[in-house]
Amino acid sequence: MAKKDPRSAQIEEDMAPGSLTLVGFLGDDTRSVDAIIRQDEALLQKEGVEIADIVKALKRFTFIGVDGLGDPVESGDYEVTVDHFRGWQYCPFKHKKRISKRNTTLYDKVTKKSLYWSDLSLHLIEEHSFFQGKGSHFRMEPEDILEILRLKKSE
């Protein structure tokens, strides 16, 4: 379970649209950051899937897609595209983590569904268990991740 940061009020303020990013991290979600994290962690715990397994799979697809230089790369049941942009993004959790501006799109040819994430999204999930608020541009619903990546209970 993620620890409550004593700077939570400032962190939530920085997650609003126009602060650190144009679109922010919370979308139209009215829950606190801590509540978002707790509820997403509870769902993953119920499903028996570890965040580390999700991050490992997403990073693997980003790594595969980099070779396409912006063009789609086929990988089994998936098509992955990675786009790079100049500059850096910073983690809103106040630990001065600088992250490249790179976005990955994963299209599942079986379910016809897609996931879309940034390197910052991966960091937020891996280090803070934060999938972002509902309605956020980079929010990935844990249920969708499990379905598209075909992740099951850890044995």
Tokens describing residue 73: 């790369």
Smallest CA-to-CA distance from 131 within 31, 26, 59 is with 26
**Span 130-149, average pLDDT:** 97
The helix (run of H) or strand (run of E) holding residue 118 is strand 113-118
Q: Determine, yes or no, domain membership for 155.
A: no
Q: Determine, yes or no, domain membership for 64.
A: yes
Instruction: For residue range 67-89, list pLDDT tens digits in order.
Output: 998 999 999 999 999 999 999 99
Q: Determine, yes or no, domain membership for 75.
A: yes
The residue segments making up the domain with residue 86 are 8-149
Instruction: For residue range 11-66, list pLDDT tens digits in order.
Output: 888 898 888 887 899 999 999 999 999 999 999 999 999 999 999 999 999 999 99
CA distance 119 to 121: 5
